Structure 1
Amino acid sequence: MDDKIETTAEHVEQAVFARCHEVHADPDTRCTEVPEKLATKQAVAKKSAAQWAYERLILYIQNFEKTLDNEHEVAMGFAGGGPGTLRIEGMGYFDPDIVTFYGSDPSGAKTQLIQHVSQLGVMLRALPKPPETSEPVRIGFRLAQDLETSA
């Protein structure tokens, strides 16, 4: 048991750092890691709700892709089931409160979903990669790379 006593200043400072906590049935499951440069007090204070939602979704997508084999790609389904499933081909945000997803639906139709952060509910899904492609697309890697260069 950790009996470390925090000062009021330390407690307040810790309250503004980005934290992530997960528990999985499989103890070997890797939890989503929050890169240090995204979790600092200065980084937290400067971000809109849209940017925070965007950055955390990137971390979840990247972690989900690490569990996929070479025959599957990440897609997302949306709470309520309205727009169905979207193969993720791009993602962005528009400050202060809009997140947008670009991709295609299961029939191959070009799709874009624009969502207010207060309505955000995303389910990540594994879809078979298109048969005409030899390697699956890993959008999480590209999104995380963009975070590193823009942070």
Structure 2
Amino acid sequence: MSYNFNLPQSNMMDQLKEIQRITAEKEDSQKASGFHKRLIRIINEFDESLDQDHEVGMRLVTFGQAITFHVTEIGYFNPHLIRFIGRLEDGSSVELVQHTSQISFLLMAVKRLNPDVPKQPIGFISE
């Protein structure tokens, strides 16, 4: 981006605001909050492809063990922690907090735990 310092004051202020916006956006993309936004977009796109009998499930594989759960919320703690919140098949609550560099999961369609309640998009929570 080139800068023309002979511009009227109002144009210089606009350029400064744009530089600040771009810098903040870049910083956010490197934090858990930026990672969180991308995860939400990916998960909701997957959810849109499912029929009304299924919802988003997630399978996490760690230390040779696999856990599958129904995703209800995803949150974050900046700078690098992501929270996955949901329910197991028996209805018990689970929450996984993981560093952004360690996240690896499989999105999958799972039968809805409560098909009588309308489907909800994956929720958003923050620090």
1:108 and 2:91 are equivalent in the alignment? yes
Counterparts of 1:70-85 in structure 2 under 5 Å?
70-80=52-62, 82=65, 84-85=67-68
Residue of structure 2 in register with 1:139 after alignment: 121
Q: Secondary structure at the match of 1:65?
A: helix
1:123 and 2:106 are equivalent in the alignment? yes
Counterparts of 1:1-151 in structure 2 under 5 Å?
9=1, 41-42=22-23, 44-47=25-28, 48-80=30-62, 82=65, 84-130=67-113, 132-140=114-122, 142-143=123-124
TM-score by length of 2: 0.70
Q: CA deviation at 1:135?
A: 4.3
Q: Secondary structure at the match of 1:107?
A: coil
Q: Which stretch shows the higher mean deviation, 65-74 or 44-53?
A: 44-53
Flag the 1:136–1:68 CA change in 2: closer, same or farther, 3 A: farther
Which of 1 and 2 has greater Rg? Answer: 2
Contact 1:72 1:136 (C-alpha < 8 Å) held by counterparts: no
RMSD: 2.5
Flag the 1:43–1:65 CA change in 2: closer, same or farther, 3 A: farther
* Highest RCO, 1 vs 2 (Cα 8 Å, sep ≥ 6): 2
TM-score by length of 1: 0.60
Greater share of strand: 2
Number of residue pairs matched by the alignment: 106
CA distance in 2, matches of 1:68, 1:112: 23
Q: CA deviation at 1:122?
A: 1.9
Residue of structure 2 in register with 1:30 after alignment: none
Percent same amino acid among aligned pairs?
A: 29
Contact 1:88 1:139 (C-alpha < 8 Å) held by counterparts: no
Unaligned runs of at least 5 residues, structure 2: 3-20
Q: CA deviation at 1:41?
A: 3.2
The code of the aligned residue for 2:27 comes to K
